[in-house]
Amino acid sequence: MTPKAIAGFWGKAIPNPETGCLEWAYELRRNYPCYYVPWDLVDGKNRHTRAHRLAYGLAYGPFDPDLHVLHSCDNPKCISPNHLFLGDNTANIQDSVSKGRRWTKLSDDDVRAIRASGESQRALGRHYGVDPSTIRKIKQRKRRVYVPD
């Protein structure tokens, strides 16, 4: 990106003095800031990208495109590099759970009990009010992988 394009990008955000966030005031997609860039710092393609991902790349340089850019401020409109950090999918899930944004029927203790149980998937599903396939995926560690035993 040219210096003019970079300045234009940062100019689409408004500082919020109460939170310290730099809030995106342009296009949103699914409540996240979106920006068309002539090339992406992450993978070199012309496309729309989430503005917080571009902000992170501009501030800190290229990063693994498989990683998420997370918000310490929990404000999806924020593009302040000081409020952004990288994490894998597990970190993203843990972050959303810790901030109360992810609803789940099963507690971490329930997940541990399911893993340890010898009961059938159908019986456990009835007991916990979930589909037996959910029980199977928990036992196979394909769901709730971030819950330690």
pLDDT tens profile 131-146? 999 999 999 998 888 7
DSSP 3-state of 37 = strand
Q: For residue 36, what are the β-bridge partners?
A: 48
Distance, in Å, from the CA atom of 132 to the CA atom of 101, rounded to the nearest integer, reads 25
Same-domain pairing of 11 and 68: yes
CA distance 69 to 60: 12
Percentage of the chain modeled with pLDDT above 90: 48
Tell me, yes or no, whether 89 and 17 share the same domain: yes
Q: What is the DSSP string of 39-75?
A: S-TTT---EEEEHHHHHHHHHH----TTSEEEETT--
Q: In what order do the strands lie in the sheet with 47-50?
A: 28-29, 32-37, 47-50
Average pLDDT, the chain: 85
Query: What pLDDT, on a 0 to 100 scale, did the predictor assign at position 41?
Result: 52
Residues 144 and 84 in one domain: no
Q: What is the pTM of this model?
A: 0.64
Residue with tokens 């599903």: 125
Based on the fold, state whether residues 88 and 123 are members of the same structural domain. Answer: no
Q: In this structure, are 24 and 91 located in the same domain?
A: yes
What does the alpha-carbon distance between residue 146 and residue 144 come to, in Å, rounded to a whole number?
5
Higher pLDDT, 11 or 39: 11
The pLDDT of residue 64 is 92
Domain count, the chain: 2
Whether the Cβ atoms of residue 52 and residue 10 lie closer than 8 Å to each other = no
The residue segments making up the domain with residue 33 are 3-98
Lowest mean pLDDT among 33-42, 70-79, 118-127: 33-42
Residues 70 and 143 in one domain: no
**Do residues 32 and 87 both lie within one domain?**
yes
Between 74-78, 92-96, 126-130, the lowest mean confidence (pLDDT) is in 92-96
91 and 108 co-located in one domain: no
Distance between CA atoms of 78 and 32, rounded to whole angstroms? 9
Name the residue with higher pLDDT: 28 or 37. Answer: 28
Q: What is the pLDDT of residue 46?
A: 61
The reported pLDDT for the residue numbered 99 is 80
For residues 15 and 78, membership in a common domain is answered with yes
